[in-house]
Structure 1
Amino acid sequence: MKVKVKRSGAIFIGITVFLGVAAANTGNNLLYILVSSMLALMLTSGISSIINLKNIEVRLIPPPEIYAHRRASFRVIARKSSVIPSFLIRVSSGIDETLFPIVDRRERETHLGFLFEKRGRVDRVRLTLSSDFPLGMFVRSMDISLDVPIVVFPAPIVTSLRILSSGSSMEGHSPYPFLTKGYEELKSIREYAGEPIKLIHWKLSAKKDELLVREMLDEEKEPVVLTLDMVEGDIETRLSKLAYLTIELIRLGYPVGLKLGDKEVPPERGNLQKLHILRELALY
């Protein structure tokens, strides 16, 4: 554990030293008693602060989508495994900080922001627990490392969708059969992706607790298979542009696929497909 002396703590220590010197020079018993009380208070504060940070269990629950260079809000859950509760516990990620007024055997929850500089897999994250309890003059802190396996997606870079209809060899059209949708004949039920409200299947949506739509056969939307050749830039820029195209095309209701070297993802619609493609881009 680390200890940081706040300004009020430095003043308290200075007064204690001054009174100690005065007591030694004058032999005044009252000053000895006062200095002893102040030293006992600092000792009690130190022991209390150590106990305050002990036996705290912290869990992190990540959001479904985490992008490089973008703040991601994690759920932070803390509890105390011992009977004695902890007070004024601050949890810091380096870019954000949150406060638990009390941590006891009951799970307490709040949110904490994280920022990841690179795409890819992250297995562990570091946190700092700190508290100035009980006197507010000294801050005791400790670093912890948590196993939180996550995948950080490439930071989306805005790219024009015109490249998909440019008529060139980079147009990104798919060899897969066309998937069609419209308003005449029912084909299937699937996740909502920006269709007209009239297509929402309200009864099923209420049961599943998510918006579902009726997919009808009529109006064509050609599947798009994304490749690195469709965009320009270095490898990181290309992956970021493909991430943007994936998000936008899925939002517009297109079946989207991906081809990266030997890896191929068949075109599909919906949020699960978006997450699948973004994960492949992140781990490329």
Structure 2
Amino acid sequence: MIVSAMLAFMGVSGFAGKRNISSLDLEIQVLNEIYAKNEGVLKIKLKNNKRFLPSFILSVELFGKKIFVPFVESKGEFTAYLKVSFPDRGVYRIERVYICSVFPFNFFKRCTSVRSNTEFYVFPKPERPSGITDHSRNLKKKGEITSDKKGYEGDIISIREYRSGDPLKYIHWKASAKTGKLKTKELGDSINRPVIVDIDRIEGDIERKVSCATYLVLDLYKRSIPFGLKIENRIYRPEFSYKHKIKILRELAVYGKN
């Protein structure tokens, strides 16, 4: 009787445990730009596709860390955020993720693997090039041009409607008071010539080169200066956009890795 009861107990436990970790899907999303040796965040979304049964006491195991999931209702989702850090730049792939549980009786740990197929870039760690104390001064030595391009320097060339993100110091308060709507001053843009970061002219080994190039790209983007990249015999023409920044950072992330 005791043996039969124990076998029945183990059978129920095994059946319930397997059902508990079945029909689960996982989505992984990179929430921000991740740089080597710096902290980034992954958004983990666990979906329970079972029609009637919830899932209990789950753990998602990823990059040596565990995310505890107490409960996911049937056809429901559970979202968590995982802080991650990577020692090296490059392309990282998450092909499968293990989901484990000790449900129902905490006697046995059962696991299943879920396909992910997530791919993301870890950019080089930004390092300030030696000898640069004021990047804007360094660029001005190469020559400065003045144009009627819209910007935030020089004389007022027009007044327009306020747009989200416009610096408060450029709001035209007098015009705003007259119209009852916020107005922004558009100024003649005193700009530096577009800059091409030449990785071959940066001193140091390959990791130092890509780290310094990354710093320069981020600094130029922050200053709204069009930037490009010369890497080996390839040239990325200067542009100013977030898409262009990510394109160049991806190139730097994989440079010399193949």
1:79 is the counterpart of 2:50: no
Aligned to 2:129: 159
Q: 1: CA distance between counterparts of 2:114 and 2:231?
A: 37
Mean CA deviation greater in 272-281 or 109-118: 109-118
Report the alpha carbon displacement of residue 163 of structure 1 after superposing the two structures with TM.
8.5
Residue by residue, what CA displacement relative to the aligned partner does 1:177-230 show, whole Å, maximum 9, x if unpaired? Answer: 7776415225999995xx8433479xxxxxxxxxxx876324333432211134
Q: CA deviation at 1:132?
A: 1.2
Q: Is the contact between residue 172 and residue 224 of structure 1 (CA under 8 Å) also seen in structure 2?
A: no
How does 1:30-109 map onto structure 2 within 5 Å?
32-33=1-2, 35-83=3-51, 84-103=53-72, 104-109=74-79
Sort the Cα spacing of 1:190 and 1:217 in 2 relative to 1 into closer, same or farther, 3 A: farther
- Measured against aligned partners, the alpha-carbon deviations of 1:115-145 in whole angstroms (never above 9, x if no partner) come to 4443233344442211111112322123334
CA pair 139-240 structure 1, distance change in 2 beyond 3 A: same
Correspondence 1:167-246 to 2 at 5 A: 181=151, 182-183=153-154, 184-185=156-157, 196-199=167-170, 216-246=187-217
Note closer, same or farther for the CA distance 1:75–1:110 as it changes in structure 2 (3 Å cut): same
Rate the CA distance shift 1:95–1:66 in 2: closer, same or farther, 3 A: same
Contact 1:185 1:218 (C-alpha < 8 Å) held by counterparts: no
CA distance in 1, matches of 2:146, 2:234: 21
Give the letter for the 2:192 counterpart.
K
**Cα separation, partners in 2 of 1:187 and 1:149, compared to 1, 3 Å:** farther
The structure that has the greater radius of gyration is 1
* 2:83 maps to 1:113: yes
**Structure 2, unaligned runs of 5 or more:** 173-183
Please report how far the alpha carbon of residue 72 of structure 1 lies from its aligned counterpart in structure 2 after TM superposition: 2.4
Matched position secondary structure for 2:213 = helix
Does the 8 A contact of 1:163 with 1:230 survive in 2?
Answer: no
SS of equivalent to 2:210:
helix
Contact 1:121 1:151 in 2 (8 A): yes
Length-normalised TM-score, structure 2: 0.74
- Between the aligned partners of 1:200 and 1:138, the Cα distance in structure 2 is 65
Tell whether the 8 Å contact from 2:99 to 2:112 is kept in structure 1 after alignment. yes
2:179 alignment partner in structure 1:
none
SS of equivalent residue, structure 1 residue 113: strand
Q: Which has the higher strand share?
A: 2
* Inter-CA distance 178–117: structure 2 relative to 1 (3 Å threshold): farther
Q: CA 1:125–1:247 in 2, change beyond 3 Å: closer, same or farther?
A: farther
Q: 1:270: how far off?
A: 4.5
Partners of 2:247 and 2:168 in 1: how far apart?
Answer: 26
When the two structures are aligned, how many residues end up with a matched partner?
Answer: 236
TM-score by length of 1: 0.68
Q: Deviation per CA, 1:22-75, whole angstroms, max 9, x where unpaired? A: xxxxxxxxxx43x54344323322221111111101111122412233332111
Distance 1:176 1:47 in 2: 74
1:143 corresponds to which of 101, 113, 130: 113
CA distance in 2, matches of 1:257, 1:191: 27
Q: What residue is the counterpart of 2:234 in the other structure?
A: 263
Deviates more, 1:151-160 or 1:239-248: 151-160
For residue 247 of structure 1, what is the amino acid of its counterpart?
L
Identity of aligned residues (%): 30
What amino acid is the match of 1:90?
S
> Larger deviation: 128-137 or 66-75?
66-75
Q: Which residue of 1 aligns with 2:181?
A: none
Q: Within 2, Cα distance between the matches of 1:185 and 1:113?
A: 46
* CA displacement at 1:165 relative to structure 2: 7.5
CA deviations on 1:232-255 (whole Å, 9 max, x unpaired) are 221122111211221123223333
Q: Give RMSD over aligned pairs.
A: 3.5
Matched residues in 1 for 2:228 and 2:146: separation? Answer: 13
- CA offsets, 1:138-158, max 9 Å, x none? 221233341113222112223
